[in-house]
Amino acid sequence: MSIQVKHLNQIYSQGTAFEQQALKDVNLEIEDGEFIGLIGHTGSGKSTLIQHLNGLIRATDGDILYNGVSIYSEGFKMKELRSKVGLVFQYPEHQLFEADVFSDVCYGPRNQGLSEEEVKERAKEALQAVGFPENFYTQSPFELSGGQKRRVAIAGVLAMRPEVLILDEPTAGLDPKGRDEILDLLKSLHDGKKLTIIIVSHSMEDMARYVGRIVVMNYGEKVFDGTPKEVFRHYRELEAMGLAAPQITYVVQELRARGVDIADDITTIEEARDAILALLAKEKL
């Protein structure tokens, strides 16, 4: 048990003409070591929800428990929560500001009040974890490629040694190679460092390939929550919400409609390839 969200409501600008209910009675349990994808149409409440998870926004109503303790309880150490639950914003590289890569990654742990020695050790560890070569440490972050900048920004959060890493659209604006590199990095942090990871994404293909669980938001409500296979089974309802299943799901459904005996819960190209090859081997296609 790591994070429990209970009957969470968020109303922005309450009592004004701009009142906006961004979250409606959201309930969610996140266990240690999960890799979760959060999807939903624009304005469905994804960014609002994740900012609640490390206490950046205070809920209008409801509760959030971190390891069984309400983060709204008196005396709760919010600063500690913010280092345990690391939040990487959208386009985090826009927040790089130090003269060199290494100083930028030192910023978070230094803010935690650690000794200078510890700060440097953590910065090194974090840069290593994101696969950043040492000869780049003294370089200005502004001279790096988009994907490299994003790695540095992620390292800045990792340097605080979080238990949970939450990333708001970590692949936005990257080319396909940069995207795969960031997702592979997150997978390695999940598998290797046993971090709990939550990513917001618009790519259903990435969701099907990487995460173990998908949470779907629609107009501030949690509407689906399950494995990619369970969630993408609802592809018609997802379409009605302005979302979709991975492209390959549609190919498989089309094959089924034409009488091909192929499983109806295929969500990745690799699975489809194996299933089609198996059918060809049995001469059933």
Ligand X SMILES: Nc1ncnc2c1ncn2[C@@H]1O[C@H](COP(=O)(O)OP(=O)(O)OP(=O)(O)O)[C@@H](O)[C@H]1O
Instruction: Beginning with the edge strand found earlier in the chain, give each strand of the sheet holding 213-218 in spatial order.
Output: 85-88, 164-168, 196-200, 35-40, 213-218, 221-226
Q: Which does 43 bind (CB under 5 to 8 A by kind): ligand X, Mg ion, none?
A: ligand X
Which of 15, 16, 17, 42 binds ligand X (CB under 6 A)? It is: 42
Residues 6+ apart with CB under 8 A from 204: 39, 232, 243, 244, 245, 246
Which of 3, 34, 35, 45 binds ligand X (CB under 6 A)? It is: 45
Smallest separation (angstroms) from ligand X to the CB of 276: 34
CA atoms within 13 A on the CB side of 26: 35
Residues 6+ apart with CB under 8 A from 239: none
How far apart, in Å, are the Cα atoms of 113 and each of 107, 118, 122, 159, 261? 10, 10, 13, 13, 61
Q: Please tell me what DSSP assigns to residue 44.
A: S
In 3D space, the residue among 257, 90, 256 whose CA is nearest the CA of residue 276 turns out to be 256
The distance of Cα 62 from the centroid of its chain, to the nearest Å, equals: 23
Binding mask 7-46 for Mg ion (x = CB under 5 A): ----------------------------------------
Residue 79 CA to residue 63 CA, distance in Å, equals 18
How far apart, in Å, are the Cα atoms of 14 and each of 11, 20, 47, 54, 206? 6, 7, 18, 22, 36
Q: Does 47 bind Mg ion (CB under 5 A)?
A: yes
Binding to ligand X (CB under 6 A): which residues in 12-41? 12-13, 20, 22, 40
Q: Which is nearer to ligand X, 47 or 203 (CB)?
A: 47
Q: Which is nearer to Mg ion, 39 or 155 (CB)?
A: 39
Residue whose beta carbon is closest to Mg ion: 47
Helix, strand or coil for residue 197?
strand
Find tokens 């994740």 and name the residue: 50
Residue 210 CA to residue 17 CA, distance in Å, equals 41
Binding mask 48-77 for ligand X (x = CB under 6 A): x-----------------------------
Smallest separation (angstroms) from ligand X to the CB of 41: 7
Q: Which does 135 bind (CB under 5 to 8 A by kind): ligand X, Mg ion, none?
A: none
Long-range own/partner contacts, residues 66-72 (CB < 8 A, 24 or more apart): 66/2, 66/3, 67/1, 67/2, 68/1, 68/4
Q: Which is nearer to ligand X, 40 or 228 (CB)?
A: 40
Binding to ligand X (CB under 6 A): which residues in 217-256? none
Which of 8, 26, 37, 44 binds ligand X (CB under 6 A)? It is: 44
Q: Does 46 bind ligand X (CB under 6 A)?
A: yes
Smallest separation (angstroms) from Mg ion to the CB of 244: 18
Smallest separation (angstroms) from Mg ion to the CB of 86: 17
Q: Which does 16 bind (CB under 5 to 8 A by kind): ligand X, Mg ion, none?
A: none
User: With CB under 6 A, what is the number of residues at the site for ligand X?
Assistant: 12
User: Which stretches of the chain bind Mg ion, using CB under 5 A?
Assistant: 47
Q: Kindly list the residues in this chain that would bind ligand X in the complex (CB under 6 A).
A: 12-13, 20, 22, 40, 42-48
